[in-house]
């Protein structure tokens, strides 16, 4: 049997993750099966299990993909200027309705009844906290935000605010008002982080 080159493996994993996201959005996380995903990309179900032995691992890969995309946008938005505005601008698509948070809502609802989804959500939450803490510590080191008295609590508070925005997206009102409310709340959590460039 010929060896599978690493580049091919990464391409195959990416195709599976994209197909799974499509299936879960269309059918819902509990109803979407590995067989549905295999059918979506025209491979056998057994081939999927070579890359993702469980649905949990596949859900974690989907969440990791979205996290990497989000962190990339967030780092770009935080390169200069107001930190709270940069954080909020990074989720602009949610506030304006351009981004459909359906998969996130489905995962949250499914976590209460499906142990695999619950495990994937816990792993995702841990990854979110780790990445955001690293980013906030970097901003703290640059003097962009005040010294965090309790970094873990600060990270959790920012994440809860962002998750609340995801949840409220389904009941969206005026996106400008939502944006300003969220900016004020994040500034409060970050200790009144002020606009402008890094302080010397």
CATH superfamily for 1-53 is Homeodomain-like (1.10.10.60)
Contact 196, 81 (CB under 8 A): yes
- Residue 166's alpha-carbon distances to 21, 64, 68, 133, in angstroms, are 17, 17, 17, 20
Its sign, for the CA torsion 4, 10, 12, 13, is positive
pLDDT in tens, the chain (200 residues): 344 445 578 888 999 999 998 898 888 887 889 999 999 998 888 888 999 998 888 888 988 888 888 888 888 888 888 999 999 888 876 666 666 666 677 777 788 888 888 888 888 889 989 999 999 999 999 999 999 999 999 999 999 998 887 666 555 556 677 788 889 999 999 986 444 444 33
Domain boundaries, the chain: 1-53, 55-189
Contacts of 189 (CB under 8 A, 6+ apart): 154, 157, 158, 161
**pTM recorded for the entire structure:** 0.73
CATH of the domain spanning 55-189, picked from 1.10.357.10, 1.20.950.20, 3.40.50.300, 1.20.120.1080: 1.10.357.10
């Amino acid at each position: 049997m010929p060896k599978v080159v690493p580049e091919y493996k990464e391409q195959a994993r990416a195709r599976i993750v994209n197909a799974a996201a499509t299936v879960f959005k269309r059918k819902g996380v509990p109803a979407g099966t590995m067989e549905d995903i295999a059918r979506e990309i025209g491979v056998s179900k057994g081939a999927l299990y070579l890359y993702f032995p469980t649905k949990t691992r596949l859900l974690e890969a989907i969440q990791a993909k979205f996290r990497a995309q989000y962190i990339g946008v967030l780092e770009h938005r935080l390169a200069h200027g107001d930190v709270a505005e940069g954080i909020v601008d990074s989720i602009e698509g949610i506030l304006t309705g351009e981004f459909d948070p359906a998969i996130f809502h489905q995962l949250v609802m499914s976590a209460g009844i499906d142990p695999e989804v619950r495990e994937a959500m816990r792993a995702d939450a841990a990854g979110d906290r780790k990445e955001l803490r690293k980013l906030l510590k970097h901003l703290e080191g640059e003097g962009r935000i005040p010294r965090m008295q309790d970094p873990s609590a600060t990270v959790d508070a920012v994440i809860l605010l962002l998750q609340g925005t995801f949840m409220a997206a389904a009941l969206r009102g005026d996106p400008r008002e939502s944006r300003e409310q969220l900016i004020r709340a994040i500034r409060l959590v970050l200790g009144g982080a002020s606009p402008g460039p890094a302080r010397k």
